[in-house]
Amino acid sequence: MGRRGEREAADHLKRLGYTILERNYRIRQGEIDLVAFRDGVLAFVEVRAQTEPAMVDALYTITRRKQRRIIKAAQTYVALNAVERGEVELRFDVVAVLFNDRGQRRDIRHIEGAFQETPKGFT
């Protein structure tokens, strides 16, 4: 379900005008499901796929540890790709994809700015 959720999320973001720059960007300390760009915003996107009935909202399944790992991977991405922080807005988004018991997509939600990088690492 995870890979299919990522495909659905990428397609959704493309329909919204985003360009997908990376899929499954990995470093030793973490992974980012999607890196997307639109209108001066570089979005690091965590994808959560669930089958209904989902017991917990997808946003609440992203632990502080997971947030730290995503932020670390994003910091590495920014450094290795010479991204100028003043020229683009960096944002951490979540795309939640809900499937029914037959594997059909029922809902998709894009949560912009789901968590933030701070001087201490995240909020």
How many domains in the chain?
Answer: 1
Range of the domain at 85: 2-115
pTM: 0.88
CA distances from 87 to 39, 52, 65, 116 (A): 11, 40, 28, 18
**How large a percentage of the chain has pLDDT more than 70?**
92
DSSP 8-state class, residue 72: H
The Cα–Cα gap between 117 and 103 comes to 34
The Cα–Cα gap between 30 and 72 comes to 7
Whether 66 has a pLDDT exceeding 50, the answer reads yes
Residue 122 is assigned to a structural domain of this protein: no
Burial of residue 31 (CB within 10 Å: 0-12, 13-18, 19+) is middle
* CB-based contact 93:43 (threshold 8 Å): yes
Q: What is the pLDDT of residues 83-109, one digit of tens each?
A: 877 788 999 999 999 888 888 888 899
Residue 121 is assigned to a structural domain of this protein: no
Mean pLDDT of 16-26: 96
DSSP 8-state class, residue 102: T
Residue 120 is assigned to a structural domain of this protein: no
Q: What is the CATH number of the domain that holds 97?
A: 3.40.1350.10
